[in-house]
A = this chain, B = another copy of it.
Amino acid sequence: VPSNAALRRERQLQALVDAAEATIADQGLAALKARDLARQIGCALGAIYNLVSDMDELVLRVGSRTLHRLDAALEAAGASGRPLESAAAATDRLVAVAVAYCRFAAANKNLWRTLFEHQMSDGKPAPAWVVDEETRLFVHAAAPLRVLAPEDDPKRLDLLARTLFAAVHGVVLFGLEERMIAVPSAAIEEAIMRLVRLTCAGLENEARPRRS
């Protein structure tokens, strides 16, 4: 049975993470300051260090939430639609997942950026669970690819899943950042759809080579 004190502590921690998430979401990671958070959740500056050992820990907690929401968004995009019976269905699903990634990033720009921007201060090692949660994302790309190239070596397909994920990420990155105006942001979804479709078509083609 948790004591009143433990309950209050738990609520305070949630409030802290909520405040941090909100701050990052609308002002970016660089705007996250211990003093502001203390004011927002109504406690003294030092009290924050009873809830969290570090600013890093706080950012990681927010990151974990973001990763979970992203995972859910990709899951939703991947789960809907026809079962993965035909190559066409697999292509559609892959496109849907990629577009979902794009939309999530656009709708959560600062939180999404924080996932990649944040570096542990001083000593480097990012905790293992973070890497874990990140790895889980690739699953959403792997299943449809297996349908498109069933004969392919699993290792090779895994690499392709990661590659495709990274490629889509790159397109979204160039589209959402002001810098490097490469991909006009209005055209991101179109660009991604074409990239994924072309890759799928290439893959299909590779599996069933055209007779010369």
Count of A residues near B, CB < 8 Å?
47
Instruction: Give which listed residue, B167, B194, B199, contacts A160 with CB less than 8 A.
Output: B194
Binds B, one of A13-21, A32-40, A171-179: A171-179
- A171-B167 contact given A159-B191, A191-B159, CB 8 Å threshold: yes
8 closest A-B pairs by CB: A170-B170, A198-B202, A167-B167, A201-B202, A166-B174, A202-B202, A163-B191, A166-B171
Binds B, one of A1-9, A48-56, A82-90, A181-189: A181-189
> Could you tell me the distance between the alpha carbons of A150 and B180 in the complex, rounded to whole angstroms?
27
- A183-B162 contact given A124-B178, A205-B205, CB 8 Å threshold: yes
Q: Are A163 and B138 in contact (CB under 8 A)?
A: no
> Assembly of this chain: how many copies?
2
Q: Are A163 and B183 in contact (CB under 8 A)?
A: yes
Chain B nearest CB: distance from A104 CB in Å? 16
Q: Are A131 and B181 in contact (CB under 8 A)?
A: yes
> Could you tell me the distance between the alpha carbons of A179 and B168 in the complex, rounded to whole angstroms?
17
> Could you tell me the distance between the alpha carbons of A174 and B169 in the complex, rounded to whole angstroms?
9
- A198-B195 contact given A124-B178, A163-B183, A182-B166, CB 8 Å threshold: no
Q: Are A201 and B206 in contact (CB under 8 A)?
A: yes
- A201-B205 contact given A134-B180, A171-B170, A174-B162, CB 8 Å threshold: yes
- A112 touches B (CB below 8 Å): no
Of chain B, the residue at the smallest CB distance from A160 is B194
A138 contact set on B, CB distance < 8 A:
182
Of chain B, the residue at the smallest CB distance from A170 is B170
> Could you tell me the distance between the alpha carbons of A124 and B199 in the complex, rounded to whole angstroms?
37
Q: Are A166 and B183 in contact (CB under 8 A)?
A: yes
